[in-house]
Amino acid sequence: MNALIKSATVVDSKSDFHNETVDILIEKGRIAKISKRISNPNNYREIKLDNLHVSQGWFDSSVSFGEPGFEERETIDNGLKTASKSGFTAVALNANSFPVIDSYADISFVKSKASNHATQLLPIGALTKESKGIDLAELYDMSNAGAVAFYDYQKPISNPNLAKIAMQYAGNFNGLICSFPQENKITGTGVVNEHVNSTKLGLKGNPNLAEDLQVARDLFLLEYTEGKLHIPTISTAKSVDLIRQAKAKKLDVSCSVAIHNLIYTDDVLSDFDTNFKVLPPLRTKNDCNALIEGLKDGTIDMVTADHNPIDIEDKKVEFDYAKYGTIGLESSFGALQTIFTTKKAIGLLTQGKSRFGVDENTINVGNDAELTLFNPDVNYQFSVSNILSKSKNSAFIGQDLKGMAYGIVANKKIVLL
């Protein structure tokens, strides 16, 4: 793949050309030259776009597509096309399919389905067989097949001894254990944040305590096992404090936060819009502020769309019975820029790579071309027309956003909107 990117402003603090507006010559999928002006004698494809900016490829650590088993929600093929056009050069795929991705063969299957796409798919294997929380899955075999982590998507590990054994066992091959931060015995049948709004709306509450207890437990187990732990999608101020303390102890822990938990509070639930039914639930302004501060000081390692397509039959029902989840790949960048600067937003979309074994290809001559192309200054209201996913369950419909991806150059391919 050969191409010439014209007049692009580089946003990459590790690049020699950070903040410069340059031309980028790509030959055979690698960056061959970066300069103020590059001629095109070989008649390569030229990429010229309005207010073009370019960064390292973006990464999302928690994406669901549905296939195999729930293709009506999303397929791997269309999911990866959506990721590409949304600016993501790599995504980690959750195991919440049917059958659950819990074996060498399952990991090999999803990797084969993704083999010809520009966006790299990184499979996350289930932590337990069929994600039932009883017996460990084939962690080592899945690791050999290419699994980058192990996680029963949005299902807590209720047995602390199982969590302990998982951390100890995975430590033998540097495996990353993910533990969903919720204590189900505290949550009960709660569907929204337990606070004033849950009482007003007559909906059962899921208290902060349910998350805080599980995070504290997992951090104690991590300290005991000296393992490697990732806590996905935290949502409470106390979780941020607990993880900050754990990092001060030099424990090998990372965590993420879903972008919708930064943007919205449970105040948006007044209309019972099931697109806002997510897990963990939307919480209070105090929690949002603590999460944002955690991102600023490095306590929280990465953001995620926690992209979870749900078909209309499972969303257009009473709030209590609707499935949890929102899509978010298409809105990630524009939503983040309503809170952070462009530089910070790009940092948040790229800094989780190393934790999941993704190469960081800086924008320098000789490196593989793994680039996201975007316009950081366009303002628009997100609508159904902006959704590329098969399912349309977006919490961001009607939200004013700033910034939009044009697409990516990666894996010797070019994918643009």
Give me the torsion for CA of 208, 353, 304, 245, rounded to 10°: 20
Q: Is 81 strand, coil or helix?
A: helix
Strand 205-206 and strand 371-381: the pairing is unpaired
- Give Cβ neighbours of residue 370 (< 8 Å, ≥ 6 apart): 56, 57, 89, 359, 361, 408, 409, 410, 411
Q: Which two tokens mark 313?
A: 């039959």
* Residues carrying an active site annotation: 306
Residue pair 262/306 in contact (Cβ under 8 Å)? The answer is no
Which contacts (CB < 8 Å, 24+ apart) does range 70-78 have? 70/97, 70/98, 70/311, 72/311, 72/390, 73/309, 73/310, 73/311, 73/390, 73/391, 74/309, 74/389, 74/390, 74/391, 75/390, 76/110, 76/113, 76/114, 76/121, 77/113, 77/117, 78/388, 78/389, 78/390
